[in-house]
Amino acid sequence: MQFFGGSDISPSPPVTTGSGDNGHMMYIFNRNGVCLLYREWNRPLKTLDAQQDHKLMFGLLFSLKSFTAKMDPTSVEKGNLGLPQLPGQGCSFHSFRTNTYKLSFMESPSGIKIILVTSPKTGDLRESLKYIYNLYVEYVVKNPLYTPGTPIR
């Protein structure tokens, strides 16, 4: 599967902040928690096997989403902690930062989750995530030979 480097992609890539070489990993999950794509560029430390790693990442986002919605001071419809939410329900977070990395996240109403793990100095990546979502639509979803819900080859 050729994911980058397509010649004529309709939406133009957003201008990214900072210099290159600050990306660590990227994940794309579907609504069933299947990791459709995982790429790493710079990940010196690995402690888990791939499958566990993907599960942990998905679980982190799942819980974080549920917590952030529960703590929302502006919204009345909160549901109970731990109870499943409808996608797009409640507020949603789009990034968090630690002293060593930044995680940026977007989720489409159809449950596609795109995660970028980058250097903590990275700026707002929401446009970039959206751009990746567009690439996913153009090059994965529309490929007649792609079976939905399977990892991207």
Q: How far apart are CA 94 and CA 127, in angstroms?
A: 11
| Residue numbers 35-64 binding another protein by CB under 8 A | 55, 58-59, 62
Amino acid letter for position 110: S
| Binding map of another protein across residues 117-146, x = CB under 8 A, - = no contact | -------x-xx--x--xx-xxxx-xxxxxx
Angle at 1 between CA 3 and CA 104, to 5 degrees: 40
Position 31 contacts another protein (CB under 8 A) = yes
Residue from the set 84, 120, 123, 151 that interacts with another protein by CB under 8 A? 84
H/E segment holding residue 60: helix 50-70
- Quote the distance between the C-alpha of residue 137 and its chain's center: 14
Give the nearest distance from C-beta 121 to another protein in angstroms: 19
Give the nearest distance from C-beta 9 to another protein in angstroms: 12
Give the nearest distance from C-beta 84 to another protein in angstroms: 4
**End-to-end C-alpha distance for the chain, whole angstroms:** 5
